[in-house]
Structure 1
Amino acid sequence: MTTPPPPELLHGRSLLDLPADLIPEILLRLPPHDPGNLVRCSAVCKPWRRLLTDPAFLRRYRKFHGAPPMLGFMFYLELPRDRFVARFVRTTPFRPRALDHRGCYVRDARHGRVLFSNVTNEETKHDLLVWNPVTGERWGLPLPVFRGMEWNVTVLCAAAAREGGGECDHLDCHNGPSLVAFVGSDEDGTTCAYVYSSEAAAWSDAAYAELPDDLTVMNMEPCTLVGSRIYCLAAESTTIVEYDLARRKLTFIDWPLSYQGRAVLMPAMGGGLGFAGVRGSCLYLWSRETGPDRTATWTQSRVLELSTLPGRAPLKEPTTVGFAEGLGVIFVRTDAGVFAINLKSGRVKKMSSREGIYHVIPYTSFYTPDHATG
């Protein structure tokens, strides 16, 4: 580690000379999206290091800042000779021990974990891989016994399966028990769901439901989690698959009737399920709301004009490619690259100029000195 800079002087006094009760208040406000600040401060002196690795302070730090920051995002690359690699792209100084995962297709990331499907078995013979970028730990699991070809998987903290989403705030649960939810459909028109528990090291019994008539093949986009319910978008139909983790029950929802094309699912800003898609040069947002008669319907909540995005004009074929849960950030791919749009502030940031990115899987987690030295 490089030698830390000398303590900053404030009107002739060092930061180390400040009252002891003031130091935690200052360090508490260091921004989590630049985790290097905390790590460097932990090297200033032993008292600061003890403070910045103290579990009580770190719990307070995470609670103060709320949702974990996005440390990077992942997508997959197709290489020559039918080879694949899942790549981690840094958006902060945080650098995991591995940026590339050969032979893998990134499927999901949530609660400090990343989930891959193993496409070519280059590095391991496991069907699915769960990776913790903070610790570098990676472990594998098999697929459940399944007759179909189309399926999707989601990784999450085990507490999220409890009714209402559990008691975990998911601010630092990346080392705790985890679940992998599997949802698939077969050619006979049946959807099934299984849940793998890291504690039991086994898949649950299957839950079954008959597919709607218009859904014969489920080529599903990345899922989203709302409370204890997982939602999967069947890209070749107008059907959303809902799997209630707490009740182990499958149901089906129609998406907004007025929209056709590629879309992403997300938690709505006001709660419940959200839906986003591009038509022309506009990004349309819907939320699923329950009326007084307890009937749920889609309501268009916002329309954002994409022609104001930075880059070449006019933009060609913009499309949604991902969403960062907890941050309210949606990713849109255009001919000028991939952009992140913060739905709360309206800020736009260009994330990549690379072509051929079809899914952006954001990785969000706190990275603090206790992790850096663990």
Structure 2
Amino acid sequence: MARPPPLKLPCDRPLPYLHDSLIDEILLRVPPHDPGRLVRCSAVCKLWRRHLTDPNFLGRYRAFHRVPPMLGFLFNLADGCFVVRFVRTTSFRPRTLDHAGCYVRDARHGRILFCNIISEKRGFHLFVWSPVTDERWGLYIPFPFYHFVAAVAVLCAKAAREGGCDCDHLNCHSGPFLVAFVATDEDGVTCGCVYSSETGAYSIMTCAQHPNGTEDMDTLDPVVLVGNRIYFPAGQSKTIVEYDLGRQKLAFLEPPPLPHQGHGILMPAMGGGLGFASVRESCLYMWSRETGSDRTAAIWTQSRVLELNTLPDCETALGFRESLMGEDVAVVGFAVGLDVIFLRTDVGVFTINRESGQVKKMTSIRPDLVFPYMSFYTPDHATG
């Protein structure tokens, strides 16, 4: 009996023509949290490659998704070994995962700020790194900050403008940036200044008497940018130092009245403004600083309490409930725009979405602090 002829599959037909605008609409919806998909789409054909590397399309793509994805997070390894580890949370892979001889100080607007322990060999006290482009910029700590423990922050240069900013921070990781310094000397005077990558110079020093005397800055805690003001936690009393970048003025704020176990951090409030999060007795307490027309009348209000032991112990968060029984539970980081809080427990670090309560385990290592790295990674930056 003769064999029947092979079936003609639909894939044997030529692909239908797609108008450029339709291709754009399809590619706009490729999720940014898996950059590998975008890279694979750019390899489909030359037309798609042109679309995915066109600056106009990429601007629309970032505006469509609005919040940069978290490509990974960093933390300092313990035991004084001075190694920073980059943990990937997506298919994005920077050229360098571990940074020896330094520790991470801040991460914001697509850049990461490191303190260089072996500056006599590398020549700079600090350096800024863009993992997407692998660009690096070095700078020195100015006098008198070199002699004191200083808190530092890196940010897009446009974020310091008075009355708002015309940058959406979706693609400014290669543009001009600022590094802000705040420290308190032995006489209890707090000083602040800003380095500009555009001028290569520091601003005029701003000084004010610290209300708690010679209290040192709590240098490794994450700092918070709200509008054009940076907030630094400081010392054992956790006095909050506000540095107004537009007016170049310092102010001092009291922390929330809630006592907390372990570690609490400053973070953006859900409704805007300054927030704070801490853990006590298996509950995550979130506070926001409500400011009226008169800024001196601002007070802390408890915005939410999340019962951690009632959150779902799903497949991506196995052992979460049991880990809350340990003594090492603390808030160690946050991801701006994603409403994600990093919580350290005895079995590792978990993320908690503060709106949905979704829990996910990120690593079995238990760092003191976590610095999320958020940025778009698109085919125009991909190599290989």
Q: TM exceeds 0.5? A: yes
Specify whether residues 292 and 169 from structure 1 end up closer, same or farther in structure 2 by C-alpha distance, changes over 3 A only. Answer: closer
In structure 1, how many angstroms separate the alpha carbons of the residues matched to 2:209 and 2:196?
A: 25
Give yes or no for the alignment of 1:369 onto 2:379.
Answer: yes
Aligned match of 2:5: none
Q: 1:255 to 1:33 in 2, by over 3 A?
A: same
Tell me the C-alpha RMSD between the 2 structures: 2.1
- What is aligned with 2:188? 189
Taking the aligned partners of 1:267 and 1:20, their CA distance within structure 2 comes to: 40
- The residue identity in structure 1 corresponding to 2:30 is L
**Mapped pair 1:51 → 2:60:** no
Asked which structure has the greater CA Rg, the reply is 2
Q: Indicate if the aligned counterparts of 1:215 and 1:239 stay in contact, CA closer than 8 A.
A: no
Change over 3 Å in CA distance of 1:193–1:24 after alignment to 2: same
Range 254-263 or range 338-347, more displaced? 254-263
Cα pair distance change 1:292/1:183, threshold 3 Å: closer
2:144 pairs with one of 125, 137, 146: 146
Matches within 5 A, 1:65-84: 65-78=65-78, 82-84=80-82
* Corresponding residue of 2:160: 161
Look up the match of 1:174.
173
In structure 2, relative to structure 1, the CA distance for the partners of 1:263 and 1:11 (3 Å cut) is same
Normalised to the residue count of structure 2, the TM-score between the two structures is 0.89
Q: Does 1:281 align with 2:282?
A: yes
Letter in structure 2 aligned against 1:208:
C
Q: Which residue of 1 aligns with 2:369?
A: 359
Which residue does the alignment assign to 1:38? 38
Distance 1:61 1:187, change over 3 A: same
Q: 1:137 to 1:238 in 2, by over 3 A?
A: closer
The one-character-per-residue Cα deviations of 1:77-118 (angstroms, maximum 9, x if unpaired) are 146xx5311111100000001111111110001111000001
Contact 2:185–2:214, Cα closer than 8 Å, also in 1: no
Q: C-alpha displacement at 1:202, in angstroms? A: 1.3
Partner of 2:103: 105
Q: Who is 1:348 aligned against? A: 359
Q: Which residue number in structure 1 is paired with residue 117 of structure 2?
A: 119
- Residue 55 of structure 1 aligns to which amino acid in structure 2? P
Letter in 1 for 2:255: W
**1:300-315 pair list within 5 angstroms:** 300-307=302-309, 308=311, 310=317, 311=319, 313-315=322-324
Question: C-alpha displacement at 1:327, in angstroms?
Answer: 1.5
How far did residue 232 of structure 1 move? Answer: 0.7
Q: TM-score, normalised by structure 1?
A: 0.92
Structure 1 SS opposite 2:193: strand
Where in structure 2 are the equivalents of 1:313-328 lying within 5 Å?
313-315=322-324, 316-317=326-327, 318-328=329-339
Is 1:334 matched up with 2:345?
Answer: yes
- State the identity as a percent: 63
1:123-162 superposed Cα distances (whole Å, 9 cap, x missing partner): 6121001001011111210001026532111000000000
